[in-house]
Structure 1
């Protein structure tokens, strides 16, 4: 007989141990080794049995053990030291507190967060990045409030069938068994937020509060008695369901999330956010809620509220492929934002315009969440330099008329949280040998002086730990697949702590090419079983439950790894999670990544491996394209542009095999009686050069200085004087848009073409019809520079021309001199663009007036 309901009964701690709860309810323990040592000392065997989950630890520890600890002076001293140190950490000024005019608070919205394995609210890289963002904000003192959903079944746990097919299970999660508390009103009642549904119904949610160091994280949960069963199931699982279900999750995240923040700030006195950061399009509806607030509370029009909202909003896109974006039928969105749900001043048609793909090649039948997110944000970024380029191409239609390079999508390359991902042994070695790495970016050069023997011993320790964990997980997996003890005896010798170990772990969409390594199975087998330079590969990854193709790829790799001749050298470990990820990035010598370029937005696993002394073997995609220098790993040649996928895979697989055989393995086993000197020189170079770049502290400083601070300044300018800035900008934009069809470049001429040489100046004169706009509403620019064979500019420069005099019929003449600074093919054109101090950039409105072809280009060769 089974229980009809499962819940967690928490232990009552003896008074001397009460501060244990204080430590457990702040997730800083997940990256603070001294606190983890304290938890381990409660009951070392039980600590391992509960998977390093302190809530479960206290729930299962014997009462007699707690009574003994309550009188154990050594343990109590450790407890009070840890709790006092936590309080110091939470209250001391940090980097952010030294910044002038920084935002008072920033709201950060994400559909998933990877904080710790004990809080399973993540599926992959987006969530892990969000978790590292919050942890780093805590370390740097950045006043972020995180917002997400609490999924009662989280993401699925993965197992394998006897024939290697992925199986999914969604175990229930009891919030009372997690390190979080309900957000409550002053009278003790739980906070409730609600959003309107069709037929006059409401969707209600309670709010769970998670402490991530200094950062409060609010997780909304619809499993409350006020809802019917369908509404209670809205937050059932991460990325579950489709259609209405998924849309309601995203409405609750965005709209309910803003309301949860308002309640939290009201109850706690926390500063209200000045900047809202939307981590992917899933949370895009937060902008609509902020517009609703401004319309209802400040009396703004929709357009005025839109400008006030945009000024303080940052949108980060994480996908380089359209399939990775949530798109809903337009009529479904109308169902939830029209009719009785239509808010006063927020017409459903205006909502639909925000997500419309009304650009060339767009699908007019869908509502695109990323498009809405970009229209609701004044600042947009990708997550690596290459991804920024891909995003400008992918979303360029939103800023029609501008060249791809001018599309206002920047980039902040992701980073990783060292406290979470770097092995304790590495941190301790750094503290002994190069404490300067903890103080400045320049200090990383000291890594080159660390004795090679010290690094080699640490690497061997971490590799051995990975081997032990892999064997444990293999045994559990084979038992679950139905194997007997006799059939599992080989696992005792699976993998070898002294063999070159390559890691490959990630989600399993087709573009990440899990099975590229198996393109030539016989060659892979020869690499694995080489008698002099053997290689072993540890693989992990989950396919989305609806991705049958991804599941087939997993089955293919599992069947190969099950082969009796190779299973001691290649293993697939099911149920990839943060704990396994930590073990793999710490224990692997090489991190392999072979996506279809340029479909990897960033990828951070290779960064984590590098910080632990691993080397990257990767296609030049994402962050690796940006920071590969020829000495910090190996770049797999990419056959970009080949139309035949089979041919491309064959070429890139052959290159991968050659690199492993002739370079990676040769260098790893080049011992000469001691540690591999050339290998360790490459390891030290990798850590010294990549260390300061791949840290999330660098990433978050970039966000603060390049996005949050400017966004806060813009938001303040819009809000000043009763939102007079927003009112003025909205009226100005409306006037410019109406007049723009009449703006024209009517005549362009230049003098001096007969003496073109480097150092000369080309005089340009332009006649422009402003269509009734004032000269201050526009900028008239000369665009100039080198051109290719088709007369397209190559990295052009821009020169604003000066209004010279009035021409006939109210037109204006503009003039300027173009400097001819370099030789070779050269050209110029002119354009008119809107110009206003309230704009983040000239492309913001997507409006540009160009001269009629072919007059706009005068080209020639500069001598």
Structure 2
């Protein structure tokens, strides 16, 4: 018989063990090995059965065992020590509290919105790299002491569990999750009643959600859950699955995440006393509606008009884009958005916010579609990609939002992602790091340089031990997978000797969209088989990844790999492991000698799995895309040559696959198998040492979060304070600067179509100009009612191509020198910056002290 409903009953802890409740409910245990070891002591067998989940363990351990532990002096001493350590961690001054901010206070609070969070495998609220990145962001923010709060949705069935059918096709299941059995607590009011956020939907319906709180160290993570009796039946399913359902389903999810998320923060701040966020960070465009909810707050609660409210919201919003392809952006039909954001009085989702203004925020080239990334960019004064190359790609991708500007001038920067070392580094490396670091920060390059003191034999011993642990795990997963696919135990004797802890091990694990090219390794099956079965220098290959349930093409790619790996000739050297999750990823990143990544450049935004491998001494073998493009140095792995200039897709794949095989055969395998008299691959280990020394401090999420604080969060908070401050002239009240900026923007947008550069004169050059010769430019500009100090007039000089396009131009600001009947005069004298075929032009841009960059408003006039 099957149970009608599943729920979790927690054991009553003896008073002396009460500290276990806090240790289990704060997800810091997921990256603190001493705390994990303490829970393992309770019942080692059940700890393994529960998947290393403290909450689940405390739900199944017997009262007799708990009473026994309550009298165990050694256990109690460790418990008390870890409880005291957690309390200290939650309250002591950390990096953030020790920073100076140019005499001003650091941001009082930061809100971080994401559609998914991969904090720990016991809370499966993630699908892939975006969610894992968000989880690492929260954990590193906690370790650094940021006053950050995370916001997302609680999915009743998470993403999905993946298994394989007998013929290798991906099969999805969606087991329901009981929040009572997870490290979550319900946000309740002073009377103990669950706090609900409410949103008005079309047809006078209400969507309500309760708020689960996951404590991620010092960081609260709010997860909104619509599966409550107060909702109509269909609305209970809004938060059923991550990235599931049709567009109607997705827009409800994104409205709940953005608008409901802001309302959840307000409730949490009021009840818990958490500082109200000054900075709002959108991790991708899914939560973009948070900006229009903040506009509504400012309109209805502070009496601002839409433009002034938008100026305030923009000043304090950060937008991070993660996709390098337009297909990765959520887009909705405009009529669907208009239906949800109707402004019909009391039934409106956002009272006081004009629907057409919301529509305009998401406008794109197709007038019938609403673009969530475009809305995110229009709502955020600061935006970034997630690697230097991705920043370049993003500036090209979104160039249309800044017409008249070259891609390099599009105001989208970059902060390269990072990974949370305590989560992703193997215990052996963490222990070695503690021995080397002393009291210094592991983010300091000097600490990593101390690896030079470590004997090559010790480094090789760690790498070999981690590889052996991976092989044990692979064999266990292989057995489970084959049994799920219908095999009998009698057929699986070969698994006991499948894979080999002494063979070069290559890992390839990630989501399975087409551009990541899961099957590039199968381009020449015969050659791959030769590499796997080479008598002297064999390799073994471990592959994993999930395809989106609706992606039939992705599932077909998985099936191709499975069918190849099922062949008796090679199944002991290549395997596809189903149900890729954080637990599997950790083992793979610990144990693989080489991490393979072969996307279509430049379509990999960052690729943090390779960072996790590098953090464990793995060597990357990758197309120069994402983070690898900026940090590959020739000694920390291998770069697969890209044939991106080849337009024919099949030929490009052939060329890059051949280059991959050549590298494995001629460069990678020889270094691994070339041993000294002690059996150590000396050249390989020196590459491992160099990888750890050079990439270790770079790939850390703590570095990434510090970059966000210094380059985005602090400037955003300072912009907010300036724009909401009372006027220095003593005019009444708050938001004076915001009103003035909004008024300037309206005047600039109205004037810009009629601004003209009517005359440009050049003087001063000799007959034969030389590099450094002085050029004087004078321009007459019709400003259409704007003052000269409200614009920037620039001379733009540089080499020109055959079509007279300026290449890598230099800009020089021109000075206002007077007024004539024909307009305002601007002039500059500048040395010629380059030799060769040189050209110049003049342009006009907006100028205002509250703008981050002259290109921000997307207004420019060219001569």
Question: Is the TM value for this pair above 0.5?
Answer: yes
Matched, 1:731 2:738: no
- Which residue does 2:801 correspond to in 1? 788
Matches within 5 A, 1:571-720: 571-673=575-677, 674-720=679-725
Q: Which moved more, 1:796-805 or 1:786-795?
A: 786-795
Q: Which moved more, 1:55-64 or 1:134-143?
A: 55-64
Offset of 1:267 from its aligned partner?
0.6
- Which residue does 1:82 correspond to in 2? 82
Q: Which moved more, 1:833-842 or 1:757-766?
A: 757-766
Offset of 1:812 from its aligned partner?
1.1
- Which residue does 1:535 correspond to in 2? 539
Matched, 1:428 2:428: no
- Which residue does 2:218 correspond to in 1? 214
Q: Deviations over 1:246-291 (max 9, x none)?
A: 1000000000000000001101111100000000010000001000
Offset of 1:437 from its aligned partner?
6.0
- Which residue does 2:355 correspond to in 1? 348
- Note closer, same or farther for the CA distance 1:447–1:824 as it changes in structure 2 (3 Å cut): farther
Offset of 1:448 from its aligned partner?
2.4
Offset of 1:67 from its aligned partner?
1.3
The CA distance in 2 between the partners of 1:716 and 1:635, in whole Å, is 46
Offset of 1:16 from its aligned partner?
0.9
- Note closer, same or farther for the CA distance 1:85–1:290 as it changes in structure 2 (3 Å cut): same
Matched, 1:400 2:413: no
Matched, 1:417 2:420: yes
Offset of 1:784 from its aligned partner?
1.2
Whether the 8 Å contact between 1:193 and 1:260 is mirrored in structure 2 is: yes
The CA distance in 1 between the partners of 2:479 and 2:425, in whole Å, is 26
Whether the 8 Å contact between 1:162 and 1:481 is mirrored in structure 2 is: yes
SS at match of 2:78: helix
Matches within 5 A, 1:32-71: 32-71=32-71
Q: Which runs of 5+ in 1 are unaligned?
A: 852-863
Offset of 1:821 from its aligned partner?
3.6
Offset of 1:618 from its aligned partner?
0.1
Offset of 1:827 from its aligned partner?
1.9
Whether the 8 Å contact between 1:301 and 1:345 is mirrored in structure 2 is: no
Whether the 8 Å contact between 1:307 and 1:726 is mirrored in structure 2 is: yes
- Which residue does 2:277 correspond to in 1? 273
Matches within 5 A, 1:232-311: 232-311=236-315
- Which residue does 1:447 correspond to in 2? 451
SS at match of 2:723: helix
Matched, 1:365 2:368: yes
- Which residue does 2:814 correspond to in 1? 801
Whether the 8 Å contact between 1:307 and 1:730 is mirrored in structure 2 is: yes
Whether the 8 Å contact between 2:443 and 2:700 is mirrored in structure 1 is: no
- Note closer, same or farther for the CA distance 1:344–1:119 as it changes in structure 2 (3 Å cut): closer
Which of 825, 830, 837 is matched with 1:818 structurally? 830
Which of 377, 381, 386 is matched with 2:380 structurally? 377
Whether the 8 Å contact between 1:831 and 1:850 is mirrored in structure 2 is: yes
Whether the 8 Å contact between 2:443 and 2:697 is mirrored in structure 1 is: no
Q: How many residues are aligned here?
A: 846
SS at match of 1:235: coil
Offset of 1:434 from its aligned partner?
4.9
SS at match of 1:592: strand
Offset of 1:431 from its aligned partner?
2.1
SS at match of 2:549: coil
The CA distance in 2 between the partners of 1:437 and 1:298, in whole Å, is 44
Offset of 1:439 from its aligned partner?
6.3
SS at match of 1:335: helix
- Which residue does 2:183 correspond to in 1? 179
- Which residue does 2:756 correspond to in 1? 744
Offset of 1:449 from its aligned partner?
2.5
- Which residue does 1:861 correspond to in 2? none
Q: Deviations over 1:133-158 (max 9, x none)?
A: 00000000011100000000001000
SS at match of 1:679: helix
Offset of 1:441 from its aligned partner?
2.5
Q: Deviations over 1:219-244 (max 9, x none)?
A: 00001111011111000011110121
Offset of 1:186 from its aligned partner?
1.4
The CA distance in 1 between the partners of 2:741 and 2:328, in whole Å, is 34
- Which residue does 2:150 correspond to in 1? 146
SS at match of 2:261: helix
The CA distance in 2 between the partners of 1:641 and 1:829, in whole Å, is 32
The CA distance in 1 between the partners of 2:385 and 2:741, in whole Å, is 27
After TM superposition, the score normalised by the length of structure 1 is 0.97
- Which residue does 1:768 correspond to in 2? 781
Offset of 1:672 from its aligned partner?
2.8
Offset of 1:790 from its aligned partner?
3.0
Q: Which moved more, 1:796-805 or 1:371-380?
A: 796-805
Whether the 8 Å contact between 1:833 and 1:842 is mirrored in structure 2 is: yes
- Which residue does 1:520 correspond to in 2? 524
Q: Which runs of 5+ in 2 are unaligned?
A: 727-733
The CA distance in 1 between the partners of 2:85 and 2:829, in whole Å, is 64
Which of 744, 757, 760 is matched with 2:770 structurally? 757
Offset of 1:647 from its aligned partner?
0.2
The CA distance in 2 between the partners of 1:400 and 1:229, in whole Å, is 46
Q: Deviations over 1:769-790 (max 9, x none)?
A: 1111111110100111233333
Whether the 8 Å contact between 2:471 and 2:501 is mirrored in structure 1 is: yes
Whether the 8 Å contact between 1:437 and 1:444 is mirrored in structure 2 is: no
SS at match of 2:84: helix
Offset of 1:759 from its aligned partner?
2.5
- Which residue does 1:859 correspond to in 2? none
Alpha carbon RMSD of aligned pairs, Å? 1.1
Matches within 5 A, 1:331-346: 331-338=335-342, 339=344, 340-341=347-348, 343-346=350-353
Q: Deviations over 1:151-182 (max 9, x none)?
A: 00001000000000000000000000000100
- Which residue does 2:106 correspond to in 1? 102
The CA distance in 2 between the partners of 1:793 and 1:491, in whole Å, is 63
- Which residue does 2:729 correspond to in 1? none
SS at match of 2:697: helix
Whether the 8 Å contact between 1:430 and 1:437 is mirrored in structure 2 is: no
Matches within 5 A, 1:503-518: 503-518=507-522
Offset of 1:343 from its aligned partner?
3.7
- Which residue does 2:858 correspond to in 1? 846
- Note closer, same or farther for the CA distance 1:587–1:849 as it changes in structure 2 (3 Å cut): same
Whether the 8 Å contact between 1:434 and 1:450 is mirrored in structure 2 is: no
Whether the 8 Å contact between 1:591 and 1:614 is mirrored in structure 2 is: yes
Offset of 1:49 from its aligned partner?
1.2
The CA distance in 2 between the partners of 1:457 and 1:246, in whole Å, is 49
Offset of 1:752 from its aligned partner?
3.1
The CA distance in 2 between the partners of 1:730 and 1:18, in whole Å, is 55
- Note closer, same or farther for the CA distance 1:470–1:694 as it changes in structure 2 (3 Å cut): same
Whether the 8 Å contact between 1:291 and 1:302 is mirrored in structure 2 is: yes
The CA distance in 1 between the partners of 2:629 and 2:837, in whole Å, is 29
Matches within 5 A, 1:128-207: 128-207=132-211
The CA distance in 1 between the partners of 2:559 and 2:603, in whole Å, is 23
Q: Deviations over 1:288-346 (max 9, x none)?
A: 10000000011000111011101000000000011111101111111110144264431
The CA distance in 2 between the partners of 1:94 and 1:691, in whole Å, is 21
SS at match of 1:270: coil
The CA distance in 2 between the partners of 1:718 and 1:830, in whole Å, is 31
